[in-house]
Amino acid sequence: MPPRKSSPIKDLFAGVGYLFRGIGWTFRHPAQWLFGLIPALIVLVFYAAALVALGWNLDDLGSWVTPFADDWSKSARDLARVMAGIALFGASLFFAVLTFTAVTLLVGSPFYEAIAVRVEESQGGAPPEPDVPLGVQIARAIKDTVLLGAIAICFALLFFALGFLPVIGQTVVPVVAALVSGYFLAAELTGVALERRGLVRKQRFALLKRHRALGVGFGTAAFAVFLIPLGAVVAMPGAVAGGTLLARERLAINPLVTGGGGGAPQHRR
């Protein structure tokens, strides 16, 4: 089957559509949705406590990161600290949303693997599980999560610094942060299905790079939903289902893989 041609704009909206298709799938399979809530709820407790603590101490933290404003006039000093607080909380929220998905997928790996298999089976058949020892799979997952966390910290610091820019820091920067977060979220949410096809992190990102608009559309839509209170918990099973559909129908059909039966392409050796 030749790769379908599409414009970046169409792919962007198609990516958004995959999120809603995944959420729709969980609505039709409520038992799988409830099953997928368990790890998300566990991780949410820790993240919510951290964000609440951050918000509670935001004034003090805003003062702590703006020592250069101590000698300014009161109005200028207060403005600088408010902007610092907004930038700090925004960067922390970016970091939380991005790593929440990675940590939840790591903690709930058996849960989301089962959901991904059910999605594949509902579409014609799941690929066989790769012949990789469980210890190797766990080590890879931990390594990928740590690496993603390091990348998220770097971007969070960058967006925090850019948040001090007047107007741009409160308008353009949050949009760019959402797009960047969406790209990485797409990599995480499609990872379950692509790992089952024998693709490691570097290969998964190579695929996503070739379908950047599709991934950004899907991941940014997930990012927006995850910002809604409890959205990350409620939508996580659907996001995994949508990522599985996206991986199966679009990402896995490319020169890096060869066709297999039942919609289960395998990585070329």
Question: Which tens digit of pLDDT belongs to each residue from 100-134?
Answer: 888 888 888 889 989 999 999 998 887 777 666 55
With beta carbons less than 8 A apart as the criterion, state whether 98 and 181 touch: yes
User: What residues of the chain score a pLDDT lower than 70?
Assistant: 1-5, 130-138, 148-149, 164, 253-269
With beta carbons less than 8 A apart as the criterion, state whether 239 and 189 touch: yes
Q: CA 193, 198, 204 angle in degrees (round to 5)?
A: 65
Nearest CA to 92 among 113, 115, 65? 65
* Gap between the Cα atoms of 89 and 76, Å rounded: 20
Residue 28's pLDDT is: 95
Residue 86's pLDDT is: 76
With beta carbons less than 8 A apart as the criterion, state whether 46 and 88 touch: no
Decide: helix, strand or coil at residue 5: coil
* Gap between the Cα atoms of 251 and 246, Å rounded: 7
Largest CA distance in the chain: 70
With beta carbons less than 8 A apart as the criterion, state whether 85 and 164 touch: no
Residue 259's pLDDT is: 37
Residue 2's pLDDT is: 47
- Which residue shows structure tokens 């379950």? 192
Q: Label residue 7 exposed, middle or buried (CB < 10 Å: 0-12, 13-18, 19+).
A: exposed
Q: Which two tokens stand for residue 140?
A: 């890879």
Residue 173's pLDDT is: 80
Q: Which two tokens stand for residue 119?
A: 């999605």
* Gap between the Cα atoms of 169 and 84, Å rounded: 10
Q: Where are the beta strands (DSSP E) in the chain?
A: 257-258, 266-267
Q: Using the 8-state DSSP alphabet, how is residue 72 labeled?
A: S
